[in-house]
Amino acid sequence: MEKLYKAYYKSPIGNVEIISDEEYILALDFIEEEITKDSFEAVPEVLKKCVEEIDEYFKGTRKEFTVKVKVHGTKFQEKVWNELQKIPYGKVCSYKDIAAAVGNEKAVRAVGGANHRNKISIIIPCHRVVGKDGSLTGYGGGLWRKKWLLNHEGVKIK
């Protein structure tokens, strides 16, 4: 069994837990627990780099992430997550756009399901997916966070 590492980050919209192995980011999610300390003792370089890049993102100086991620899902979910990473900072796509991009424009609900199962928030930017009319729809971290992230990126929300 591979060794996993954790780091925590206090973002403007809540505490973030980041999990990695020696080479890849495996999860990044908002948590409700209080963070007692920021710890970098004996963690892999990829985890340190991820915390640095997330900090830069929240400070408005980073628009693309370079840390390596490893996802685990169905082939369809992995195709969706790959497409999400192509949505540029400050832009949004509809669920239908993503479904079409992965080869099945009728799979709108399945795209929503893949978004819901995304374990690497922000880096795999499921917050950039909106309804076909541009409206905000579900986000695992809460719609208020999705709205904040999109506003932070300069997206005008309906």
Residue carrying the six token digits 């192995």: 21
Catalytic site includes residue 93: no
Catalytic residue among 25, 47, 126, 130: 126
Upper half-sphere CA count for residue 54 (Cβ side, 13 Å): 29
Q: Is residue 157 within 8 Å of 136, Cβ to Cβ?
A: yes
- Strand locations in 81-149 (E): 93-94, 129-130
Residue positions annotated with a catalytic role? 126
